[in-house]
Structure 1
């Protein structure tokens, strides 16, 4: 039997030696992972230009001399921190947009205090978003802006646009935005009114802790955390993979609490009544009619989104009055639309192509 034969004693011994060596290196890397400080996030400089309660409005510092006339406001989901749009150089949607000449603002959120448990949908769509747009107009001198939103940030942007038609929003750009909540199947099961007493939860807790929100996401993919850890272990000596994993892991771990009243209305009006898609949602005594939205709409959907299905986004096409509607279905999952190197190559150039000619 030749020495190169994989079944020879010498080959078996060499294979065992390599596996032991890999296991030792993996353990060393694992200890480094556990002992490492939090992964730094954020690639681009920004300035806090307005604060109102839990709302934080940031402006990113332009990086090119010529910028588009229309500023861009990105609304974060109230349960998540906005740095998902700006994770790291090469994985930052904000960095990409700044380099393409956009004047980028982000409406982010601070954890609500106990005395802010009363904040509801009206506070977000009738106060925080309009006040942010007014501040942007004051800073830039432009009365119109493009309004974008991710996940529930997109839902809030949509409700705002339906309530405030013709009030300064020129374009609407939405990422993984649920509108028809009957197609949020796993969340429907999680919040089933036969078993879930939302009034009792809100009345007892006031501010809804992030563990409740994380529980809903874990229900969507019960084995996701375990599979992620196993994938991390397999790739432990890949420094770039580990760095990326730690950034996303930090973002997920820093899920925010949300005001109880906002949570109650989200469950009752959006999840149970499907009021936005059915045309019955009332906010501040006014009906949020999707037919009021006539501005250009770009609807960006993830093909393998386990949280917001393609069907959940379709009222944006069917029920709005926009005659300038475009949809992009991108490969990947819920987060890959707004973060990561893959979106830089295949998705964000398409968004730039659509938004650029509507921002002059």
Structure 2
């Protein structure tokens, strides 16, 4: 690439880096707000199913990846298929939210959001989608839910933290020496997004530069560059963690592994996976460095669900659930068989 082309390309990338990608490609409306959170509603052009879908995304990444690119949007594919979709967007916590815990997110935002979605839709039952840590929250919520949950779909969701997939020496010290990690988090109050990103990079660093090589190889392909930039914007758009959440993750998950042991509590109530009776679909990927299969699949033996299925994909942590603008066959068929048709 000569100097003139390189200069033009750098200028283009600087423009991209100033461009936000938050609104998505699917029409939506806000139906409820609390603090920083928004409950979004995506209406199906033609509603074909009476069981809406409620999406819970991770606490450390922004959910706009689910509706970022036309033809590659999970939400777009769902509404085109005939599902009304609701998604809780937690927003970005501030220092005033430092004491918020997983209990708060589950009862005050997720459970309240599901109630609002049921009231708004008039539906008798709901399907819950949970992604990564959002799936962990979804499973915990489902274990205490009084609301009617028909289906629960967990994508790359960690539930068993017994075997560390990274930072194993740190975890060993934490467990064996009863090391107190709370002082650092209490001092900060909010774990900055830069700290969250640094932690992720420490896990993925061996392959982190590969996307930039792909970008250079496809620099003259505008469609590829646009898609690459949107995805890269998402990967760098981490969300700060409240110290309350960070401490609870370390103590309850990393240190004591309470969830898979049926020892977790939400506001004093037992959050036992055995309480989950919804139809269950668990999705993992073979190449996931962040959430390997041995963190995901043990949930299959712990839930009370009679109808439970696991599906393993190839690829990494951010493997797509959309194929050529459509839901993949395994998900399409699973939902169709377990979602009441609107004309029935």
TM-score normalised by L of structure 2: 0.90
Q: SS of the counterpart of 2:198?
A: helix
Shift, 1:35, TM fit: 3.3
Shift, 1:34, TM fit: 2.5
**Where does residue 200 of structure 1 map in the other structure?**
183
> How far apart, CA to CA, are the structure 2 residues paired with 1:156 and 1:40?
25
For structure 2, list consecutive stretches of 5 or more residues without a partner in the other structure: none
For structure 1, list consecutive stretches of 5 or more residues without a partner in the other structure: 1-19
Q: How does 1:245-324 map to 2 (within 5 A)?
A: 245-324=228-307
Paired residue for 2:160, among 180, 205, 216? 180
> How far apart, CA to CA, are the structure 1 residues paired with 2:252 and 2:108?
19
Aligned length: 335
Alignment RMSD (CA, Å): 2.2
Q: How does 1:64-75 map to 2 (within 5 A)?
A: 65-75=46-56
Q: SS of the counterpart of 1:57?
A: strand
Larger-gyration structure (1/2)? 1
Shift, 1:270, TM fit: 0.8
> Structure 1 342/101 Cα, relative in aligned 2: closer, same or farther at 3 Å?
closer
> How far apart, CA to CA, are the structure 2 residues paired with 1:40 and 1:58?
16
Q: How does 1:210-221 map to 2 (within 5 A)?
A: 210-221=193-204
Q: SS of the counterpart of 1:221?
A: helix
**Where does residue 333 of structure 2 map in the other structure?**
353
Asked whether the 8 Å contact 1:299–1:326 carries over to 2, the reply is: yes
Asked whether the 8 Å contact 1:39–1:246 carries over to 2, the reply is: no
Shift, 1:134, TM fit: 0.7
For structure 1, which segment, 95-104 or 142-151, has the greater mean C-alpha deviation from structure 2 after superposition? 142-151
Asked whether the 8 Å contact 1:56–1:110 carries over to 2, the reply is: yes
> How far apart, CA to CA, are the structure 2 residues paired with 1:196 and 1:90?
48
Asked whether the 8 Å contact 2:286–2:313 carries over to 1, the reply is: yes
> Structure 1 255/227 Cα, relative in aligned 2: closer, same or farther at 3 Å?
same
**Where does residue 151 of structure 2 map in the other structure?**
171
Q: SS of the counterpart of 1:156?
A: helix
Asked whether the 8 Å contact 2:277–2:304 carries over to 1, the reply is: yes
For structure 1, which segment, 126-135 or 235-244, has the greater mean C-alpha deviation from structure 2 after superposition? 235-244
Q: SS of the counterpart of 2:208?
A: helix
Shift, 1:200, TM fit: 1.3
TM-score normalised by L of structure 1: 0.87
